[in-house]
Amino acid sequence: MAVESIHVNTVYPHSDSRYEWVEATVEFAVDPDLLANQGIVDLELAPRDTDGMVRYDADLKLLRPVDGGNGKLLFVVPNRGVPTYAPWLKNGFLLDRGYTIASCGWQWDVQRGPATLGMSAPSADVPPGFMRLEWRSDSASADHPLSFTVPEIDALPPGAEALFTFTDYPTVDIDDPEAVLSVRTAPDADPTVISRDSWHFTDETHLTLDGGFKPFHWYELVYRTSRTPVVGCGLLAIRDVVSHLRSDGIDHAFAYGVSQAGRLLRQFLSDGLNVDETGMTVFDGVFSEFASATTGEFNHRYAQPSMAQVIGFGNMAPFAGAELLARQRELGGVPKTIFTNSATEYWNSGGALLHVDPYTGADLPEDPDVRTYLLASTDHFGSSKLKEAFPAANPVHRLDVTPVNRALFVALEDWVCDGVEPPDSKVPRTSDGTAVARKEVLSFFSHTNAPDPSALSYARHIDLGPHARRGVGRWPIQLGEPYVDLVSAVDEDGNEVAGIRLPSVAAPLAAYTGWNPRRHIDELPDVLYERVGSRLPFPPGRPSVTERYPSREDYVAAVRNAAESLVAERFLLADEVDAVVGKAAADY
């Protein structure tokens, strides 16, 4: 049954008269005993109706052509409730092609409202148990809710806080003597346990610390809760909505997710959910952007889907494409898949594990259904102005990966629909010396602000206890030895040599990196600030900008040559060259 009904709430025109918006609520009914649903943690423990079904609902938003469209669907996975439409709607990119674009709520912990799509997850009938909450703030605070908070919350525009407020996991006992709070001064630093009489639950959903919580410290709370949402129902919601939409004239379906949403797509594939309850394929193509080699808190007990930069279930194997798709390959329905990552994913979260052996660093063979691309020298936030407010030590850059991603989406479409192979993967490789340790790259940047090599965090083997594989963790996490530490080597200017080099990187005005240290704070180590890069002057002895490009026309010619090379490699669409060149030239 899966999708039991769809209740349309409103239909209204898009600014492009060829399209209309549809907002609806989807009612689901799933059978926990079906093989297709048995990978969802605790689903069998959720309340069933008299027909044996578990029911829940989610928000649905459609942008559909009024004339029926081209028979192709792009499902945009909401990121913390908000669909990331921008790359696909700008300049009518997909609308001119006749796509239907859909998004469905999948997170139980977002605040459902006009701007966010969420889901009402059923609750599992299990006794209270221990969970972990971890957070870090850029500012001091007197108390903290029992939910994830975004470190950059102080940099958000006014009114945006509602988009980053998530449902709490309440404590079962505000006096619980077994609850443990600890603090670290760096992501991989040894934790210090804080005396139980120095902190307190002020109510079921808040705690306070004597003297307050300090900025730029990592706090971890292990405590018991009785809230038990079946978080993995969000994965089923995506599967079943798309399967339902495919039955109404959709010939090919594609998925897109960036950051958290990209990690969710990796989880979706790892759990073998790309076939519906009848065994039919859901997505023909999957585009996962900036997800690194990780998944997330998407399908385990007490999961917090909004968590970011926190070590846990999302850091467990599988990592590389062939491993990730192993379960899906057993069940059938393996989609053509593209993974793209910025340099930040390599610097902050072990992005190289997508394509190297985690213990030896040896290059892994390419899975025939996967392509993997590094977008050289870029960072996680791209062209967003938001990162200019972050407490980073170096100036930030605004390299825009959108044009390359759109070319890669066309390549994915051609791969799925016409069997045209996309360009070969472009990533750092051990075999040709383009994959090197972070410390080696940092030694090149001794002339500028750089993180303390001893304060770098590492992707590690982790132990979450004997029941982790069935979705029940043991806290705190036991950390094992680090995996290999590999990023792209850099050229004499400091720009990365591996991956797809944007025209602004191939014809540079500066050195662009995927890393940036947090601004220096006395008595704290100089750690990497999360997910933001640097724009640095060329190193001493290198030609200046005017020596390289004596005039603006010289620079425009260099950028255009780099852009046309990307067109030849199918990493840029020919009709976007002028816009890319113009944007780069504006920085000269």
User: d(Cα 205, Cα 227) in Å, to the nearest integer?
Assistant: 12
Reading the block at residue 43, the tokens are 């689903």
Both 155 and 302 in one domain: the answer is no
Both 54 and 195 in one domain: the answer is no
User: d(Cα 342, Cα 401) in Å, to the nearest integer?
Assistant: 9
What contacts 550, CB < 8 A, 6 or more positions away? Answer: none
Report the DSSP beta bridge partners of residue 138: none
Residues 564-585 have pLDDT tens digits of 999 999 999 999 999 999 999 9
Neighbouring C-beta atoms of residue 67, cutoff 10 Å: 9
Of 285, 311, 334, at which residue does a domain stop?
Answer: 334
Both 234 and 214 in one domain: the answer is no
62 occurs within a structural domain: yes
Both 251 and 118 in one domain: the answer is yes
392 occurs within a structural domain: no
Model confidence at 280: pLDDT above 80: yes
Q: How many alpha carbons fall within 13 Å on the CB side of residue 142?
A: 1
- Comparing CA positions, the residue from 375, 374, 368 lying closest to residue 415 is 368
The answer to whether 255 and 287 are in contact (CB under 8 A) is yes
Model confidence at 162: pLDDT above 70: no
- Comparing CA positions, the residue from 478, 358, 376, 500 lying closest to residue 430 is 358
Q: Report residue 152's pLDDT band, with 50, 70 and 90 as the boundaries.
A: low
- pLDDT, residue 150, reads 77
**Rg, C-alpha atoms of the chain:** 24
Both 215 and 319 in one domain: the answer is no
Q: Which of 67-76, 146-155, 303-312, 459-468 shows the lowest mean pLDDT across its residues?
A: 146-155
Give the burial class of 364: count Cβ atoms within 10 A of its Cβ; 0-12 exposed, 13-18 middle, 19 or more buried.
Answer: middle
Residues 288-334 have pLDDT tens digits of 999 999 999 999 999 999 998 899 999 999 999 999 999 999 999 99
Both 47 and 94 in one domain: the answer is yes
Q: Report residue 151's pLDDT band, with 50, 70 and 90 as the boundaries.
A: low
Amino acid at 456: L
484 occurs within a structural domain: no
235 occurs within a structural domain: yes
Of 225, 248, 271, at which residue does a domain stop?
Answer: 225
Average pLDDT of the chain? 95
Residues 312-325 have pLDDT tens digits of 999 999 999 999 99
- Comparing CA positions, the residue from 211, 235, 142, 219 lying closest to residue 180 is 219
Reading the block at residue 416, the tokens are 């799925």
Which domain range does residue 103 map to?
2-123+229-334
Neighbouring C-beta atoms of residue 385, cutoff 10 Å: 10
Alpha helices (H) along 280-396: 321-324, 326-331, 343-349
- pLDDT, residue 308, reads 87
| φ, ψ (nearest 5 deg) of residue 136 | -150, 135
Residues 79-124 have pLDDT tens digits of 999 999 988 998 899 999 999 999 999 999 999 988 899 999 999 9
Span 430-448, mean pLDDT?
Answer: 96
Both 239 and 111 in one domain: the answer is yes
How would you classify the pairing of strands 487-488 and 478-482?
unpaired
Q: Report residue 211's pLDDT band, with 50, 70 and 90 as the boundaries.
A: very high
- pLDDT, residue 160, reads 61
What contacts 351, CB < 8 A, 6 or more positions away? Answer: 292, 293, 341, 345, 374
514 occurs within a structural domain: no
Q: Report residue 158's pLDDT band, with 50, 70 and 90 as the boundaries.
A: low
Alpha helices (H) along 58-124: 86-89
Both 111 and 257 in one domain: the answer is yes
Residues 185-208 have pLDDT tens digits of 999 899 999 999 999 999 999 999
User: d(Cα 150, Cα 137) in Å, to the nearest integer?
Assistant: 8
Both 246 and 111 in one domain: the answer is yes
Of 208, 225, 242, at which residue does a domain stop?
Answer: 225
Our measurement of the distance from residue 102's CA atom to the centroid of its chain's CA atoms, rounded to an integer in Å, reads 19
Reading the block at residue 561, the tokens are 């040559």
Model confidence at 419: pLDDT above 60: yes
Amino acid at 268: F
149 occurs within a structural domain: yes
User: d(Cα 359, Cα 39) in Å, to the nearest integer?
Assistant: 28
Neighbouring C-beta atoms of residue 532, cutoff 10 Å: 27
Span 276-297, mean pLDDT?
Answer: 97
The answer to whether 411 and 285 are in contact (CB under 8 A) is no
Both 27 and 87 in one domain: the answer is yes
- pLDDT, residue 164, reads 79
Both 262 and 181 in one domain: the answer is no
- pLDDT, residue 318, reads 96
Total domains in the fold of the chain: 2
19 occurs within a structural domain: yes
What contacts 574, CB < 8 A, 6 or more positions away? Answer: 567
Both 218 and 303 in one domain: the answer is no
449 occurs within a structural domain: no
Q: Report residue 161's pLDDT band, with 50, 70 and 90 as the boundaries.
A: low
